[in-house]
Structure 1
Amino acid sequence: MDIFALPPLTLLLDAAYSALLSLSTALEPVGGSASAALAVILVTVGVRAALIPVGVSQARAEQMRARLAPRLRSLHQRHGRDRDRLQRETMALYRDEQASPLAGCLPLVVQAAVVGVLYTLFLRPEIAGQPNDLLAHDLLGAPLGSSLVAAAGAGLDARTAIVWAVVLTVIVIVADITRRVFRPQVPTEGPLASPAMLGMMNAMHYLTAVFAVFVPLAAALYLVVTVTWTLAQRWLLRRRYPLPVA
C-alpha cells in the first residue's frame, strides 16, 4: 500500500516537493548544479535547529534516567518475577519524579518522517502528475535520486563512487566517535553485560551507515548532517547536563 496515496499525505508530499524545488531554484546562483543537495542540507539544519528545545528535554531526561537507574535496578530485584507489580512501581517512580520513560522519542519520530519524505521525493518519477524535476539534480555528478545499491547495479562511475565514499566515511567516523564518547551505562552483571550484548550495542551505532546504502543520495545527505549535528549537540548538552557518576 502506498501511504502517500492518502489525501493528507499526498498534500504533504506535494507541499514538500514545491518547497524543496523552490529552495533549490533560489540556491542555484550559489550552489549551481548542487543547489538541490544544498537545499537538502539547509532543510536538515532547519529541522535540527527547530528540535533544539526537544534535544534539551532529551538531555535532561537522560540525566534523570541515569539518576533513577539504581532505584530501577532495585525495583527489578524486588519485583522481577511479578511483571505487573514491576510495571506499576516503575511508572509510580517516574510519576513521583515527574519524568517520562518516553522522553526523547520525538526527535526520532520527526527525523524518521523527514527521511521518509526525502526518500519518496527522490524516488518517484512523477509528483502531483508532473515529472519530478528533483531527479535531474546531482551532487558533483552523483544523482541525488539514486542509492548506492542502485548506482552499483547500473555501473558505478568514479565521481559517484567518490561522493558515496565520502558520505559513508563521514557517517562511520561520526558513529565511531559517538560510540566512544557516549558509552551506554550498563550493569557490571546480568545479560546486558555479556560480550554478545555489548557487541550488539556497539554495532547498532553503525546501522545508519548500512541504512544509507539503500536510500537515495539526497536522504543519505540528510543522514550525514543529522548524525553530525546530533553528535555536536549531545556533546554540548552532556556538558550542560552531566550524568551522575556511578
Structure 2
Amino acid sequence: MSLDWIYYAISWILLTWHSAWDAIGVPVDAVIGTNFAWILAIVFLVVTVRVILFPIFVKQIKSQRAMQALQPKVKELQEKHKGDRETLQKEMMELYRKEKANPLMGCLPMFLQIPVFLGLFHVLRRLDPAKQAKTLYGWSVEQFDSASSAKLFTAPIAGKFGSTADELARLGANGTTVKIIAGVLVLVMMGTTYLTSRQMILKTGWAEDPQQRMIQRLMLYGIPLSLLISGAIFPIGVIIYWVTNNLFTLGQQQWVLRKYPPPATATSKATSGARNPVQPAKTGALFGRKPAPQPPAKATAPKVAAPKPGAKPVNPKKGRPAKRRG
C-alpha cells in the first residue's frame, strides 16, 4: 500500500504554514542559529492534527469513564468465571457491547497519529541536498533548499543524533552540536511522554482489569524508555514535533479531565461517608512533639431550678437551726 498520500498531506500542511509565517514577517534567515519559520511550521503541524483529532480525543475520555464505571461488574465476572478464560472474554465483550464501552478507544488517538509521525519522519529524512527528486510531494526546489538548510540552534532539523559523517557534511552541520541538541531534545521527549501518561493515570486511576493495568504500565514506563534508543534515529524536526505534541496533550488532557471528571468510586464514597469519625491528632504530635497541655476547664456552679408557677417562694433562712446564745 502506497503512503504517498500521507507524504503529500504532511508536505502540504508544512509548506502552507511556512508560507503563512513568511507572509506574516517571521524571519526566513536564521536568528540565534534558528530558522523560526520552519520550526513554527512543524509546531503548527501538531496544532492542525490535534484540532482534527479533538472530537476523537473527547470520545476517548468518555470511553475511559465508561470503562471505569464498569469495573465493579468486570470484577464480578472475573470472580464468577475464574479459571474459564474463554467464557470470561465472551461475557466481558458482551458487557462492553451492551454498555457501549470500547476498550480500544483509549489507544485510538495515538494510533491515528502514527501515520502523521511516519509521514513527517519520511519527509524530513529526504531533506538531503544530495537527493535529486527535490520537487517530490509538491515541493519546489527553493522550498526544498530552504528546508534542508533550516536549523535549530545551528543544528539542521533534518539531522539526528545518529547521523553519519557524510550526512552531516552534506547538511553542513557540526557533529558535536547536532548530538548535543538532539540528545537534549530526546531527554525532553522522554520526560514529556512520561508526564502525559502519568497525568492521565493520576486523574483516572489504575485500572482494575489486569490487561488494562498492563497497558497503563507499558504507556507509563515502556514507551519513554524505548525512546532513549529509538530517539537516536529521529530527525531533530521529528523530535520537535513529538515534544510539541506532548505539551499540547498535557494542556488538552487537563482541560478535558476538568470538563469530564472521573466518576466517584465506591471507595471514595465510603471514605467521604465516614469522614472524621475520630478527632484528628494535634499537628505537633505528627512531628514527634508532645501537644501543649490544655488549661483545666473552669468549674461551673450547678444551676438551680426555677420555682414552678404558683408555688410559694422558699425562704432559704427558714429551716436553719437557731444559733445558741452563750
TM-score interval (norm. to shorter): 0.7 to 0.9
Q: Which residue of 2 aligns with 1:81?
A: 83
The answer (yes or no) to whether the contact 1:122–1:216 under 8 Å persists in 2 is yes
Q: Which structure has more RCO (C-alpha within 8 Å, separation ≥ 6)?
A: 1
Inter-CA distance 26–157: structure 2 relative to 1 (3 Å threshold): farther
Q: Which residue of 1 aligns with 2:301?
A: none
Q: Which residue of 1 aligns with 2:260?
A: 241
Does residue 1:115 correspond to 2:121, yes or no?
Answer: no
Inter-CA distance 16–173: structure 2 relative to 1 (3 Å threshold): closer
Inter-CA distance 112–162: structure 2 relative to 1 (3 Å threshold): same
CA RMSD, 1 decimal = 3.3
Q: Which residue of 2 aligns with 1:141?
A: 154
Q: Output the CA distance in 2 between the equivalents of 1:105 and 1:191.
A: 14
Structure 2 gaps of 5+ residues are 29-34, 169-173, 268-326
Q: Which residue of 2 aligns with 1:49?
A: 51
Does residue 1:185 correspond to 2:206, yes or no?
Answer: yes
- Residue 165 of structure 1 deviates from its aligned partner by 4.5
Name whichever of 235-244 and 109-118 sits farther off. 235-244
Does residue 1:95 correspond to 2:111, yes or no?
Answer: no
Residue of structure 2 aligned with 1:59, choices 58, 61, 67: 61
Percentage of matched positions with identical amino acids:
26
Task: State the number of aligned residues.
Answer: 236
Task: Look up the equivalent residue of 1:89 and give its one-letter code.
Answer: E
Deviation track 1:152-209 (CA, whole Å, cap 9, x = no partner) reads: 9956333x3453354234324424434554345155x989999xx9976642252474
Does residue 1:225 correspond to 2:225, yes or no?
Answer: no
The answer (yes or no) to whether the contact 1:167–1:220 under 8 Å persists in 2 is yes
The answer (yes or no) to whether the contact 1:56–1:237 under 8 Å persists in 2 is yes
The answer (yes or no) to whether the contact 2:6–2:116 under 8 Å persists in 1 is no
Q: Output the CA distance in 2 between the equivalents of 1:61 and 1:227.
A: 21
Inter-CA distance 193–241: structure 2 relative to 1 (3 Å threshold): closer
Name whichever of 11-20 and 69-78 sits farther off. 11-20
User: Per residue, is there more helix in 1 or in 2?
Assistant: 1
Q: Which residue of 2 aligns with 1:30?
A: 26
Name whichever of 132-141 and 108-117 sits farther off. 132-141
The answer (yes or no) to whether the contact 2:117–2:238 under 8 Å persists in 1 is yes
Inter-CA distance 190–118: structure 2 relative to 1 (3 Å threshold): closer
The answer (yes or no) to whether the contact 1:123–1:145 under 8 Å persists in 2 is yes
Residue of structure 2 aligned with 1:21, choices 15, 20, 27: 15
- Residue 240 of structure 1 deviates from its aligned partner by 2.3
- Residue 224 of structure 1 deviates from its aligned partner by 0.4
Whichever of the two has the greater Rg, that structure is 2
The answer (yes or no) to whether the contact 1:186–1:193 under 8 Å persists in 2 is yes
